Amino acid sequence: MDAFAKKYVESFMNELIAKNPGESEFHQAVSEVLTSVAPYLEAYPYLLENKIMERMVEPERVIMFRVPWMDDSGEIHINRGFRVQMNSALGPYKGGIRFHASVNLSIMKFLAFEQTFKNSLTTLPMGGAKGGSDFNPRGKSDAEVMRFCQSFMTELFRHIGQDTDVPAGDIGVGGREIGFLFGQYKRLRDEFTGTLTGKGLAWGGSLLRPEATGYGACYFAQEMLATRGESFEGKTVVVSGAGNVAQHAAEKAMRLGAKVVTLSDSDGFIYDPDGFTEEKIAYVKNLKNALRGRIKEYVNQYPSASYTGGGAKPWSIKCDIAMPCATQNELNGDAARTLVANGCFCVTEGANMPSTPEAIEVFQSAKILYSPGKASNAGGVATSGLEMTQNSIRQKWTAEEVDSHLHRIMSDIHAACIKYGTEEDGYINYVKGANIAGFIKVANAMVDQGLV
């Protein structure tokens, strides 16, 4: 970065932090994008004159609301609901809903900001948003989750719609929650539209939407590996998380010939040195999605695997490829150094912002393949975009059709990263590539649409 870009980033970040105190995840996400695009802004002064970056970090709208609900014993609980409608330059707001105890405004804003660039990268007409609540679905009965979802939607419904804002799932929001949210939306609006994505297959959902984020991350990793003449075949893969993204990343990596040896949750991780099989993945899906169990139960079923508790993460396990698929900042500088020292040469993010800035620095200094979530996990929202299209034309595509769209989108995103991220020595800086490619389209659309 030259002196101008350095000074621009520093003064921009100082102002952002002063104006948004305590929002550390939001600061982190903005700083990463800004560092990539500052030289680009300098080269195109009309973007500076139009104060595009200043406008991008100010959400178009933030909705914060009370979500009261009653548990099965009759006790009343009050949670906080959010929807951050960040940017609609490219299309209706689009982004998931997260139910997790850690949810706060900073996390919602970081996710909505990232989503804007990710959605741009997919080339589909979608703006950026994110929503959620500090409600923790863990240990709640189906009836409690339903009452919570109905209360949440009783406020949210007035702010969303198929041409306005189309939410989807995220951490803690899967098929069950989307069903309850959609049911209440339909009841309140008296209309059956594609306003939520991730719907059940019988009522407007797209084939392959549940698989899309994890599968898409593997398609992206295949492209990355191919730049070095490599593939998944025979590689050892470490995956974190045990939810939607992790399950399908592990499944696809295994089907592409890799030995996938770990999964985790917030309590710890399992290590299966023999690698997962179709049967073992099916067991995990049933354990997590139907029985809502914990990942440690895996070792009861498969005793040759081991479990490490105390919130441990799987990054100490020797591997060729790492796929963080749980949550933000789950992979720090020390973990990154361990991975690199153990020979890991490819890190493909399935989660949003799972690597800390220090970890990214370690990967990039070691010149290993590293892709940020906004590029490699974009297959989820891309397939949500395909679900919206199918809903609009009232048709249903086959799994093969959806998969071929997904494959093409992931390889187009990879090509965009190469175009904007290849450095003088030939190293592909996927962070820079994804940020600039995502940014340009949104920025120019904002300029075209005037000062709004």
Residues known to be catalytic: 130
Q: Which of 172, 372, 385, 433 binds ligand NDP (CB under 6 A)?
A: 172
Q: Which of 95, 167, 204, 243 binds ligand NDP (CB under 6 A)?
A: 243
Nearest CA to 442 out of 138, 218, 173, 121 is that of 121
3-state secondary structure the chain: CCHHHHHHHHHHHHHHHHHCCCCHHHHHHHHHHHHHHHHHHHHCHHHHHCCHHHHHCCCCEEEEEEEEEECCCCCEEEEEEEEEEEECCCCCEEEEEEECCCCCHHHHHHHHHHHHHHHHHCCCCCCEEEEEECCCCCCCCHHHHHHHHHHHHHHHHHHCECCCEEEECECCECHHHHHHHHHHHHHHHCCCCCCCCCCCHHHCCCCCHHHHHHHHHHHHHHHHHHCCCCCCCCCEEEECCCCHHHHHHHHHHHHCCCEEEEEEECCEEEECCCCCCHHHHHHHHHHHHHCCCCHHHHHHHCCCCEEECCCCCHHHCCCCEEECCCCCCCECHHHHHHHHHCCCCEEECCCCCCECHHHHHHHHHCCCEEECHHHHCCHHHHHHHHHHHHHHCCCCCCHHHHHHHHHHHHHHHHHHHHHHHECCCCCECHHHHHHHHHHHHHHHHHHHCCCC
Q: Which residues between 191 and 220 bind ligand NDP (CB under 6 A)?
A: 213
Nearer to ligand NDP, 9 or 30 (CB): 30
Q: Which of 351, 362, 386, 434 binds ligand NDP (CB under 6 A)?
A: 351
Q: Which residues between 313 and 332 bind ligand NDP (CB under 6 A)?
A: 325-327, 330
Q: Any contact of residue 371 with ligand NDP (CB under 6 A)?
A: no
Nearer to ligand NDP, 194 or 230 (CB): 194
Q: Any contact of residue 387 with ligand NDP (CB under 6 A)?
A: no
Q: Any contact of residue 244 with ligand NDP (CB under 6 A)?
A: yes
Q: Any contact of residue 242 with ligand NDP (CB under 6 A)?
A: yes
Q: Any contact of residue 352 with ligand NDP (CB under 6 A)?
A: yes
Would you give the binding string for ligand NDP spanning residues 142-171, x where CB under 6 A is met?
Answer: ---------------------------xxx
Q: Which of 144, 223, 230, 265 binds ligand NDP (CB under 6 A)?
A: 265
Nearer to ligand NDP, 53 or 406 (CB): 406
Min CB(415)–ligand NDP separation in Å: 20
Residue whose Cβ sits closest to ligand NDP? 243
Please identify, among the stretches 30-38, 225-233, 346-354, 390-398, the one whose residues bind ligand NDP according to the rule CB under 6 A: 346-354
Q: Computed over its alpha carbons, how large is the radius of gyration of the chain? A: 21
Distance set, CA 376 to CA 165, 234, 346 (Å): 23, 21, 12
Q: Which of 56, 245, 323, 344 binds ligand NDP (CB under 6 A)?
A: 245
Please identify, among the stretches 25-33, 228-236, 260-268, 396-404, the one whose residues bind ligand NDP according to the rule CB under 6 A: 260-268
Q: Any contact of residue 241 with ligand NDP (CB under 6 A)?
A: yes
Nearer to ligand NDP, 167 or 421 (CB): 167
| Total interface residues for ligand NDP by CB under 6 A | 24
Nearer to ligand NDP, 53 or 208 (CB): 208
Q: Which of 132, 380, 433, 438 binds ligand NDP (CB under 6 A)?
A: 380
Q: Any contact of residue 253 with ligand NDP (CB under 6 A)?
A: no
Nearer to ligand NDP, 85 or 240 (CB): 240
Q: Are 336 and 252 in contact (CB under 8 A)?
A: no
Nearer to ligand NDP, 177 or 320 (CB): 177
Can you give the binding site for ligand NDP, defined by CB under 6 A?
Answer: 169-172, 174, 213, 241-246, 265-267, 325-327, 330, 350-352, 377, 380
